Amino acid sequence: MPKLNTNAPVLNEKQRDVAQLAWVDGFGRLLDTRFRIPGTNVRFGLDFLLGLFPYAGDLISLIFSGLMVATMARNGASGVLVARMLGNVALDALVGTVPILGDLFDLFYKANIRNLQLMREHYGEGRHQGSAWPVVIGIGIFILLVFGLVAWLAWQLLSWTWGLIFS
């Protein structure tokens, strides 16, 4: 993905008339680039600030980002676009849960601005069209594998603990 332009217009005139899409544009900027660290070009938003509150702040950010994606989906975003945006949100939420590293990641990754750029490409250039089923199926298989691995590890840990206690 090219360098993020946080000042580029996302919506054309017609799309700005759709209140929900205008809300997505403003809210995405509030979450990721509303404030600037004085003397630098580093911008941050509520997503970074909420991330400073472990887990609860990350959950709130995830909900806000999910609302943005749902709004875009209701206003004509393709399945592929929604899947890519959910991938950005999931990565941001997952890494955001890691103390300190997650906060630094939130400061520079800017999932919501990335999603706004994807939306700009979708509406302005006709990109990211098509069905999301291949992506959704791939993500589903990955999630099942991760849950399977976690269940196996939990079973191994439980067996090992049981052996220590009762042997």
In this structure, are 28 and 80 located in the same domain? yes
Helix (H, G, I), strand (E, B) or coil at 132: coil
Domain boundary among 112, 128, 144: 128
Task: Work out how many domains the chain is built from and give that number.
Answer: 2
What is the model's pLDDT at position 135?
A: 65
In this structure, are 105 and 158 located in the same domain? no
- Give the helix/strand (H/E) hosting 42: none
* Residue 112: domain span: 13-128
pTM for this prediction: 0.68
In this structure, are 114 and 145 located in the same domain? no
Specify which of 78-92, 125-139, 149-163 reaches the highest per-range mean pLDDT.
149-163
Q: Taking 70 as the threshold, does the pLDDT of residue 16 lie above it?
A: no
Is the pLDDT higher at 9 or at 123?
A: 123
* 120 vs 126: CA distance, rounded Å: 9
In this structure, are 21 and 46 located in the same domain? yes
Under a CB-based contact definition with an 8 Å cutoff, are residues 96 and 61 in contact? yes
For the segment 22-39, the average pLDDT, to the nearest whole number, is 89
In this structure, are 116 and 159 located in the same domain? no
What is the model's pLDDT at position 17?
A: 62
Which residues make Cβ contacts (< 8 Å) with residue 132, sequence separation at least 6? 78, 79, 80, 82, 83
Q: Taking 80 as the threshold, does the pLDDT of residue 128 lie above it?
A: no
The verdict on residue 115 lying in a domain is yes
* Token pair of 96 as six digits: 């955001």
Q: Taking 80 as the threshold, does the pLDDT of residue 1 lie above it?
A: no
Q: Taking 90 as the threshold, does the pLDDT of residue 51 lie above it?
A: no
Query: For residue 68, which amino acid is it?
Result: M
* Token pair of 62 as six digits: 């995830």
Q: Point out the least confidently predicted range of 41-55, 101-115, 125-139, 143-157.
A: 125-139
Length of the chain: 167
- Strands 43-44 and 35-36 come out as antiparallel
Q: Taking 60 as the threshold, does the pLDDT of residue 97 lie above it?
A: yes
In this structure, are 23 and 38 located in the same domain? yes
